[in-house]
Structures are given as C-alpha cells and as structure tokens.
Structure 1
C-alpha cells in the first residue's frame, strides 16, 4: 500500500498516510533551535506494520533539513533514536543527559 509522510504545519504534526488515509502522526513543538517531539500515535488498524518507524524517520529527516535539533520527549521517538544511532547527533548534549541517552 502506498504511504506518504507529510508535515501538517497547521496541526504541528507529521502524518503518515496509507492509501490516502491518516494512519498515524507524531506531534511536535518547535523552539528556536530544536523540534520537540511530544506524542506519537499509530491507529490500531495500522499497528505492527512498521509505519511508526517510517513516520519517525521521515520526521527526523525533515527536521534535520530544517536545520533543527530533535528533542525526543515521546517514547516512540526516543526509542527510534536509541536504536538508530546516526540520529543521536540531532539531540543536543544537554538533552541526551536528561533523557538518559548515550553521549
């Protein structure tokens, strides 16, 4: 099934659509230099298919392109960063310590 991730700026969230239907989202709040990811949710009908991973990876890639760091306040985003170390550099050092992430 075709998927697409887009930034819904009006709702401050990245959404993943499957066949045109919103299957999940990750909400964020932008600061001057970082994007805080505060909540991620996948509709139970789409659970277990890797959509959360696709969503978070796309959201972090766009965040990097936007020149922002990432604050993984949401457990889903934090887990993704913990298991995909190339994204750890996006998290400021001060936040890594507070969130228990590797330095």
Structure 2
C-alpha cells in the first residue's frame, strides 16, 4: 500500500492517505511559535500498520523544517516523542 502525508496548514492538521483514502490525521493548535499536537486519529480500518508513527514523524520533521517548537497535548504524540529522543529538542 502506498501512503502519502500532506500538511494542511489552513486546517491545522497533517493527513496520511493510503492509496488515496484518508487513513488518519494529526491535528494541532498554534500559539506563537508552537504547534501543540492535541489529537491524533487513525481510521480503524488502517490501524496496526504503523501509520500513526509515520504521520507523527513527518509532522515533527515538518515542524523542525518550519522552525517551530511543539507541545504534546495528545498522549500518542507525547509517547512518540518520549520514545524517539531525536525530537525532544522540539519541545517548547
């Protein structure tokens, strides 16, 4: 299955699509120079494939490239950052 990840800044979200179908999203709110990731969802039909991790990794890489810090109100993103220490420098 081919997947693509798209940043939709006008909606404050990152989306992951599998074969053209929306499989999940990571939503955030913006306060100053901080993206607070507050909600991550994977469609039940696509769970167990590691898509949430790919989505969050891409969202955090994009945040780094955009020069913004992050907050982790979403428990999944909080756990992901704790387990992937290369992203901890992004924490506000």
Q: Determine if the TM-score, normalized by the shorter chain, exceeds 0.5.
A: yes
Q: Is 1:16 matched with 2:16?
A: yes
Gaps (5+ residues) in structure 2?
none
1:74 is aligned to 74
2:41 is aligned to 41
CA distance in structure 2 between the partners assigned to 1:44 and 1:59 by the alignment: 21
Which protein is bigger by CA-based radius of gyration? Answer: 1
Of structures 1 and 2, the one scoring higher in RCO (CA 8 A, sep 6+) is 2
1:52 positional shift:
0.3
Which has the larger strand fraction?
A: 2
- The list of structure 1 runs, each at least 4 consecutive aligned residues, that deviate by more than 2 angstroms after superposition, is none
SS of corresponding position for 1:6:
strand
Gaps (5+ residues) in structure 1?
93-103
1:10 positional shift:
2.5
1:37 positional shift:
0.3
CA distance in structure 1 between the partners assigned to 2:6 and 2:48 by the alignment: 21
The number of residue pairs the alignment matches comes to 92
How does the TM-score come out when normalised to structure 1?
0.86
1:62 positional shift:
0.3
